[in-house]
């Protein structure tokens, strides 16, 4: 829609640099980067077109022929578990008349067949049958493969990159190598996904996730089970930020306050009383509990609208057990999520006001301030 | 809303010219002309402001005093069967305070009276009573006639032209003179109109209508009654395009597969087994069956939104007969229409994707390719 | 959203000046000033940011600690009756993370406490508690008072001004000094408020209010009780315009046609048969009846959308009396209001048509013409 206003971009970068220059005296990002359509266009091109984006768990397409349909940065895409065993991400747009090859996730035994004129593609994106093109001159079906995007799997999650020459995923995630191995993320199974359409800028979701200073006011139930001031952060600069908070002994972060599932890994006694919260730039939040993992994917839709997909993942063996109560965790966090989205929406309204000037960060907000610093360095 | 981006217009014209230069090797139009708000503004001004547009059947206003209310290119208009017997199209906006003179179709015995201050106009658009203006200085009610547009009737359909000096309608339609006389279009009567609000660019509707290569996949019922590869086109270049397809012997294009009404004309045996499809640039589709005619009017609302009015017209004598089953044809095509609108909507989504590049036309898509050529020549 | 198109502003000012130059031969304002988003941006900055705006009756916050929540020109504001007895208007946006301090009107015994991180402010807008900021360097809570706006009370109504150095309210309202003293406006009490979301430009609401030439067509019930041609205006130029109309003897402007409440003041016999209508530039309409006062506040939301808040105010002693029938007046004007909003909405549609040219004002529309003149002088 909007074209990019480069003067605004420069203004945001400069003001932002000034606001965040002194780690101990930081203020929030300029309001325009939360509200401007033009700036949002810039973010899409400068940031989301170049970064590794989480698009879901690999266990959603466990078998060859399984596929997902997703829309990233307005582009409809297929995430395909190929018949050759490889995962690929390719456009969902037929190269003939632009019809979508699939509208919902599913499984194919052999081909994607466009319902419009029956052009068909194999699971590697090659044209198998270009119906009606036999007598076309100069037509070579190898010219019409479905354009593909870079894709990698990390810790059981599929990541896509819209750039032609992205940073290697392993290099990008090197700082996290082995860090999450206790939680067995690659083998967990999602019991539930809830999608939230939140009327707030995607950056507010990150900033809100990154501090528990708001917990006493916003999350009374959570605060009872996990002291708001118990955070100890071990990642404090860069694209990956976070650390752990305590869970009161004998409790779990569930509605009943009790553990709801077989542990996801083998922990020392200490980790049974801790929940780890990490933000993965630019679209993933990872919450690691002893008895489940919760994962948020963020899909920015407009400056003031973000689609958030939340998965609750459990030990696959837990599903077989009688005392498996996934709803105990899901209900608890669905409530807590909604509390967060509501305050993000009201902050979005306040940021849009002309009376708003970027406010100061408190020492308890060192992680959101670090997130802002990384974001600014990134877009600069 | 948007202003016109002339660089984009030039780009579309140039790319389009290149895509369509070789009749045997054509590709689709540039995606921007299906998605850009600015380009849509250009089309409204450069095309819809200058062409003859079908606005409905004359049999909707059979008697002096009858009138229609329509909105063309955002302008609210009255289509009036004047008390003097002439059909006129004039603005529906009172020249005093801009209130609408009528909101819905109706009949007037004498005047259009504005409900706001009771200014009134005769059916020829002249001010009869300018209430409250008696003591106004320099006021001459002849200065405030309702602005009128050019209007003509062709084959029983009312056409309006928003330009001051349009091509004469007879000259425009000269290539079609006598062509449809067998079908008695001027005397048919509409049994039903259905309005569809389709989330696709108006040009996709034309392109889709112009080929039956998609019929096996999209219209299984239609394909049973009319072989998808039976098309023989007799108008293959210019603003009017199309030809006929076969209907299997003993059948009609209805839900039951049987004829639903008295024939609309006197045909040779051959034409009883044919359906003729013609597109009339830039807003009409004419489908001529032995037992009815179906007519689509297109009203572009935005780059990705088109209002489509579909009429089913029958021999006026058919209405008196016991075996008259108009619903048999209406249900059949309402289903078939919706199949077409759905694929147009999914193509619209695909065209909006950055992964889309104009795809190749197959030899079976010679008519949509010809439509594109004419369109490009027109806007150039 | 839109930026300001200064060429358009100049065009409107020039065309408007020409249209309204001759008092006896005026035409309406250029259509763009009713429809353009860019022009609406200009109005917000050039007009609504500088004028005294009515935001409600002081009797809505009678006690210290009472407060209103309103949004003016997209800024969420608190209207606070301070614990020190003064009325203030301040931003509703917490100076820390921009969360709204209140979403609905209410009462506080001591503080506004932000629900997000528990920062709190006293009713004078000073930070009392900046939770979590103790260890922040260079933090001085006196730097984070809630920004305040100019506020004054006139005739019992609260007025706010978004400018730093507005005209003094007393000077602005000097032409009306003592004019309304008979009606005891400061002590009246509102029995009911109805909010209307009208799809028309705010100026159309003013122009419509300023003439009764439309009453026979639009308000048959009103016209029976108050002859449409009985207007005698005493304010005919400037920001305050209007006069009185007759009420037929023995009647009141109510559904029953009878008086519905104790008189609001001590009138001479003449004023018992008169209703006074005044428009107060740029967002207030004041309708003074013998037995009640009706007050409209206009809040422009977009070029074609206006929020209108309507209050019905009565003698506070009337509320105690058995024959007090406020609904008799409320129902009557709710119906009459809706009749006005409907014609404004249809005029808005007509003005948006390309066929519309600013129409002539009749001598019966001298007040809307004067309103236009003042408006143009103001924005010039």
Claim to verify: residue B215 and residue B320 sit in the same structural domain:
yes
Claim to verify: residue A249 and residue A364 sit in the same structural domain:
yes
Whether the predicted pLDDT of B42 surpasses 90: yes
Going by pLDDT thresholds of 50, 70 and 90, the confidence category of residue A25 is confident
Q: Do B343 and A115 touch (CB under 8 A)?
A: yes
What pLDDT does residue A269 have?
A: 83
The beta-strand segments (E) located in chain A are: 53-57, 66-72, 75-81, 87-91, 106-107, 111-113, 120-122, 127-129, 148-154, 157-161, 189-198, 232-235, 240-246, 274-280, 284-288, 293-302, 305-314
- Of C102, C133, C150, the residue that ends a domain is C150
What pLDDT does residue C62 have?
A: 94
- Tens-place pLDDT, residues A227-247: 999 999 999 999 999 999 999
| DSSP per-residue letters across C261-314 | SS-SS---GGGGGEEEEEEETTTEEEEE-SS-EEEEEEEEEETTEEEEEEEEEE
Contacts of A347 in chain C (CB under 8 A): 97-99, 116
Claim to verify: residue C329 and residue C193 sit in the same structural domain:
yes
Claim to verify: residue B229 and residue B345 sit in the same structural domain:
yes
Residues 6 or more apart whose CB falls under 8 angstroms from that of C59 comprise C156, C188, C189, C190
The verdict on residue B247 lying in a domain is yes
What pLDDT does residue B183 have?
A: 96
- Of B166, B197, B221, the residue that ends a domain is B166
Of C90, C115, C89, the residue nearest C102 (C-alpha): C115
Q: How many CB pairs under 8 A join A and C?
A: 88
Q: Do C116 and A359 touch (CB under 8 A)?
A: no
Going by pLDDT thresholds of 50, 70 and 90, the confidence category of residue C350 is very high
Q: Cα-flanking dihedrals φ and ψ of residue A114, to 5°?
A: -65, 125
Claim to verify: residue A89 and residue A213 sit in the same structural domain:
no
Query: Residue B31's closest chain A neighbor by CA?
Result: A98
| Average confidence (pLDDT) over B23-27 | 83
Whether the predicted pLDDT of C20 surpasses 90: no
What is the complex's ipTM, to 2 decimals?
A: 0.91
Whether the predicted pLDDT of B1 surpasses 60: no
A 10 A CB-CB count for B212 gives: 22
Report DSSP state, residue B200: S
pTM for the structure as a whole: 0.93
The verdict on residue A9 lying in a domain is no
| Average confidence (pLDDT) over B65-74 | 94
Claim to verify: residue C257 and residue C190 sit in the same structural domain:
yes
Chains that touch B (3 or more CB pairs under 8 A): A, C
The CATH number given to whatever domain includes residue B198 is: 3.90.380.10
- Of A136, A166, A196, the residue that ends a domain is A166
The beta-strand segments (E) located in chain C are: 53-57, 66-72, 75-81, 87-91, 106-107, 111-113, 120-122, 127-129, 148-154, 157-161, 189-198, 232-235, 240-246, 274-280, 284-288, 293-302, 305-314
The verdict on residue C84 lying in a domain is yes
Contact map slice: B 12-51 vs A, CB within 8 A? 24-25, 28, 31, 37
Claim to verify: residue B351 and residue B290 sit in the same structural domain:
yes
Claim to verify: residue C196 and residue C297 sit in the same structural domain:
yes
A 10 A CB-CB count for B1 gives: 11
* Average pLDDT over all residues of chain C: 95
- Report CA-CA distances (Å) from C131 to A24, A214, A366, C96: 16, 10, 15, 10
Claim to verify: residue C332 and residue C259 sit in the same structural domain:
yes
| Average confidence (pLDDT) over C2-19 | 87
What pLDDT does residue A2 have?
A: 61
Of B75, B118, B130, the CB nearest to C217: B118
SS3 C332: helix
Going by pLDDT thresholds of 50, 70 and 90, the confidence category of residue B2 is low
Q: Do B360 and A98 touch (CB under 8 A)?
A: no
What pLDDT does residue C230 have?
A: 94
| Average confidence (pLDDT) over A136-153 | 94
Share of chain A above pLDDT 90, in %: 89
Chains that touch C (3 or more CB pairs under 8 A): A, B
Claim to verify: residue C228 and residue C85 sit in the same structural domain:
no
Share of chain C above pLDDT 90, in %: 89
Please tell me the distance in Å from A131's CA to the nearest CA on chain B: 9
Claim to verify: residue B160 and residue B208 sit in the same structural domain:
no
What pLDDT does residue C259 have?
A: 96
The verdict on residue A140 lying in a domain is yes
* Average pLDDT over all residues of chain A: 95
- Domain of B97? 53-166
Of C31, C213, C354, the CB nearest to B117: C213
The verdict on residue A208 lying in a domain is yes
Query: Residue C366's closest chain B neighbor by CA?
Result: B136
| Average confidence (pLDDT) over B330-357 | 96
Contacts of B7 in chain A (CB under 8 A): none
Whether the predicted pLDDT of C72 surpasses 70: yes
Of A157, A124, A129, A156, the residue nearest A141 (C-alpha): A129
The CATH number given to whatever domain includes residue A97 is: 2.102.10.10
Q: Do B132 and C363 touch (CB under 8 A)?
A: yes
Phi-psi region of A242 (alpha: psi -120 to 50; beta: other; left: phi over 0): left
What pLDDT does residue C2 have?
A: 62
Residues 6 or more apart whose CB falls under 8 angstroms from that of B164 comprise B150
Q: How many CB pairs under 8 A join B and C?
A: 88
Going by pLDDT thresholds of 50, 70 and 90, the confidence category of residue B73 is confident
Share of chain B above pLDDT 90, in %: 89
Of C217, C349, C356, the CB nearest to B117: C217
Please tell me the distance in Å from C326's CA to the nearest CA on chain A: 37
What pLDDT does residue B291 have?
A: 96
What pLDDT does residue C132 have?
A: 87
- Tens-place pLDDT, residues C25-71: 899 999 999 999 999 999 999 999 999 999 999 999 999 999 999 99
What are the percentages of helix, strand and coil residues in chain C, rounded to 5? Answer: 35, 25, 40
The verdict on residue C12 lying in a domain is no
What are the percentages of helix, strand and coil residues in chain B, rounded to 5? Answer: 35, 25, 40
Count the domains in chain C. Answer: 2
- Tens-place pLDDT, residues A70-88: 999 889 999 999 999 999 9
The verdict on residue C35 lying in a domain is no
Minimum mean pLDDT range among A337-341, B132-136, B322-326: B132-136
SS3 C58: helix
Q: Do C25 and B93 touch (CB under 8 A)?
A: no
- Tens-place pLDDT, residues C237-261: 999 999 999 999 999 999 999 999 9
Going by pLDDT thresholds of 50, 70 and 90, the confidence category of residue B126 is very high
What pLDDT does residue C25 have?
A: 82
Mutate to test the interface with A, among C97, C120, C125 (most CBs of A within 10 A): C97
The verdict on residue C197 lying in a domain is yes
Of C232, C210, C213, C233, the residue nearest C223 (C-alpha): C213
Question: What whole-number distance in Å separates Cα of residue A191 and Cα of residue B145?
Answer: 70
Claim to verify: residue B199 and residue B332 sit in the same structural domain:
yes
What pLDDT does residue C17 have?
A: 86
């Amino acid at each position: 829609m909007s074209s990019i206003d480069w003067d605004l971009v420069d203004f945001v970068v400069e003001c932002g640099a000034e606001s965040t220059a002194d780690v101990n005296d930081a203020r929030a990002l300029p309001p325009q980067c939360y509200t401007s359509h033009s700036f949002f266009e810039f973010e899409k091109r400068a940031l989301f077109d170049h970064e590794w984006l989480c698009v879901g768990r690999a266990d959603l397409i466990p078998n060859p022929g399984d596929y997902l349909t997703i829309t990233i940065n307005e582009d409809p895409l297929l995430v395909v578990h190929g018949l050759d065993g490889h995962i690929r991400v390719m456009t969902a747009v037929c190269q003939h008349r632009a019809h979508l090859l699939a509208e919902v996730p599913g499984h194919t035994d052999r081909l994607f067949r466009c319902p419009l004129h029956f052009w068909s593609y194999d699971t590697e994106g090659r044209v198998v049958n270009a119906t009606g093109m036999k007598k076309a001159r100069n037509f070579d079906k190898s010219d019409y493969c479905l354009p593909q995007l870079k894709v990698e799997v990390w810790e059981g999650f599929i990541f896509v990159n819209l750039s032609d020459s992205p940073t290697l995923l392993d290099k990008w995630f090197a700082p996290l190598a082995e860090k999450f191995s206790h939680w067995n993320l690659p083998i967990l199974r999602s019991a539930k996904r809830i999608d939230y359409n939140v009327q707030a800028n995607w950056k507010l979701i990150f900033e809100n996730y990154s501090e528990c200073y708001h917990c006493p006011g916003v999350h009374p139930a959570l605060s009872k089970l996990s002291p708001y001031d118990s955070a100890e952060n071990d990642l404090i600069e860069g694209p990956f930020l976070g650390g752990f908070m305590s869970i009161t002994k004998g409790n779990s972060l569930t509605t009943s306050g009790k553990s709801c599932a077989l542990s996801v890994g083998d922990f020392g006694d200490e980790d049974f009383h801790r929940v780890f919260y990490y933000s993965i730039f630019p679209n993933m939040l990872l919450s690691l509990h002893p008895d489940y993992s919760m994962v948020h994917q963020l899909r920015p839709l407009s400056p003031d609208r973000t689609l958030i997909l939340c998965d609750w993942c459990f030990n696959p063996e837990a599903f077989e057990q009688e005392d498996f109560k996934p709803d105990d965790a899901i209900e608890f966090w669905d409530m807590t999520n909604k509390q967060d989205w509501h305050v993000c929406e009201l902050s979005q309204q306040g940021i849009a006001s002309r009376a708003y000037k970027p406010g100061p960060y408190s020492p308890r907000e060192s992680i959101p301030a670090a997130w802002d610093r990384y974001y600014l360095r990134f877009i600069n």
